[in-house]
């Protein structure tokens, strides 16, 4: 019983209890991380394993069935998730780095620098990314997961840059920036030691958002057929399923693994993003307080009604 009380008092437990969205999100992501990184524990097959049973429905031996080529869907889902996660994180790092540098520079310096950068950001926002990515991928004749991550990172910084720019502009006129200026801090230091820490929540929410976007874009590119067909990822699994007419022949299990993986990963990251927003924006936090208020009012009402009936 002692331990139970201890756990209940722990700040982490309190955080998780007060933020159900974060809890579910962290749980989903942790599940994916454990399953993909610990893939050898959860399946006895290699990613490239080929059995002599072609396209069999899920059974005891093959948890999610096999593909047209006799590959185990469950093993491929676990190993493929590693690549998808890696691509997402890499694209996220690149995009957030770019958008932070670009956004802060534009917002802090203002004037002509801001004018030029804002125009570039706006142009980058109106050029559609999926067709652009497809053209680059097609001209290169198929791209490895690594390259997809880099390409997505370099094409999806615009939205984050725009958000960070306006945030910088509002921070820039606060008093602590003036005092840093008066103290004679260097421009570089003011930018990255004074302004940037105030934007960590926005940066992390942009990071998570870009990961979601990158994983979606990767699946799309590979589904169309521009991944490296030899690498095992969720996107190439969908591509192979499509190419071997899995849908037409009713082999739903071939789609189940990658689809579930993508949905769970996307949902988990979205929920985490929600709680980042909530933690950094007290207006959103008020929602929970309002919920308490509504509940109290409802209870009061039923109590009053019950009282009226008794009289």
Query: Which residues sit at the interface with other proteins, rule CB under 8 A?
Result: 21, 119, 122-123, 125-132, 134-136, 138-141, 159, 212, 215-217, 219-220, 223-226, 235, 238, 247-248, 250, 252, 255, 258-259, 262-263, 266-267, 269-271, 274, 283, 287-291, 293-294
Q: Toward other proteins, which CB reaches closer, 177 or 246?
A: 246
CB of 191 to other proteins, least distance (A): 27
Closest distance between other proteins and the C-beta of residue 287, in Å? 6
Closest CB to other proteins among residues 113, 130:
130
Compare residues 108 and 226 and give the one whose CB is closer to other proteins: 226
Q: How far is residue 57's CA from residue 3's CA, in Å, rounded to a whole number? A: 45
Distances (CA, A) of 129 to 107, 125, 214, 289: 24, 9, 11, 40
If DSSP codes are grouped into helix, strand and coil, which group holds residue 125? helix
Residue with tokens 């009053």: 304
**Residue 149 or 190 having the CB closest to other proteins:** 149
Cα separation, 63 vs 128, in Å, equals 40
Q: How far apart are CA 33 and CA 89, in angstroms?
A: 13
Q: Cα–Cα–Cα angle for 43, 80, 276, nearest 5°? A: 110
For residue 130, what is the enclosing H or E element? Answer: helix 129-139
For the bound state, the minimum distance from the C-beta of residue 185 to other proteins, rounded and expressed in Å, comes to 35
What are the structure tokens assigned to 291, written together? 């919920």
DSSP secondary structure letters along 193-205:
IIIGGGGHHHHHH
Rounded to a whole number of angstroms, the minimum distance from the CB of residue 94 to other proteins is: 18
Could you tell me which residues are beta bridge partners of residue 50?
Answer: 71
- What is the nearest approach in angstroms of other proteins to the Cβ of residue 242? 8
Looking at the Cβ atoms of 134 and 180, the one nearer to other proteins is 134
Q: Is the CB of 28 or the CB of 195 nearer to other proteins? A: 28
Residue 13 CB partners (closer than 8 Å, separation 6+): 7
Least separation in angstroms between residue 212's CB and other proteins is 5
- Taking the complex as a whole, the smallest distance from the CB of residue 240 to other proteins amounts, in Å, to 13
Distance from first CA to last CA of the chain, Å, rounded?
46
């Amino acid at each position: 019983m002692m331990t139970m009380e201890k756990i209940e008092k722990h700040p982490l437990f309190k955080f998780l209890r007060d933020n159900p969205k974060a809890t579910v999100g962290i749980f989903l992501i942790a599940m994916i991380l454990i399953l993909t990184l610990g893939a050898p524990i959860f399946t006895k097959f290699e990613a490239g394993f080929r059995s002599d049973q072609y396209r069999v429905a899920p059974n005891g031996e093959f948890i999610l069935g096999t593909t047209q080529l006799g590959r185990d869907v469950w093993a491929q889902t676990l190993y493929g998730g590693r690549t998808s996660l890696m691509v997402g994180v890499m694209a996220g790092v690149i995009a957030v780095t770019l958008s932070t540098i670009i956004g802060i520079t534009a917002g802090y310096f203002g004037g002509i620098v801001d004018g030029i950068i804002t125009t570039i950001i706006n142009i980058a926002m109106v050029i559609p990314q999926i067709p652009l990515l497809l053209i680059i991928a097609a001209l290169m004749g198929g791209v490895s997961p690594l390259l997809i991550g880099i390409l997505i990172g370099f094409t999806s910084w615009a939205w984050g840059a725009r958000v960070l720019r306006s945030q910088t502009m509002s921070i820039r006129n606060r008093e602590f920036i003036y005092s840093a200026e008066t103290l004679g801090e260097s421009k570089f230091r003011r930018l990255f030691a004074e302004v940037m820490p105030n934007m960590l929540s926005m940066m992390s929410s942009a990071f998570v958002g870009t990961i979601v976007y990158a994983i979606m874009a990767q699946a799309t590119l590979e589904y169309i057929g521009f991944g490296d067909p030899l690498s095992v990822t969720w996107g190439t699994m969908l591509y192979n399923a499509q190419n071997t007419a899995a849908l037409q022949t009713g082999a739903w299990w071939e789609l189940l693994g990658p689809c579930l993986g993508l949905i769970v990963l996307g949902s988990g990251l979205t929920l985490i993003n929600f709680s980042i927003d909530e933690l950094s924006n007290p207006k959103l936090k008020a929602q929970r307080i309002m919920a308490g208020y509504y509940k109290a009012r409802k209870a009061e009402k039923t109590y009053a009604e019950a009282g009226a009936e008794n009289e």
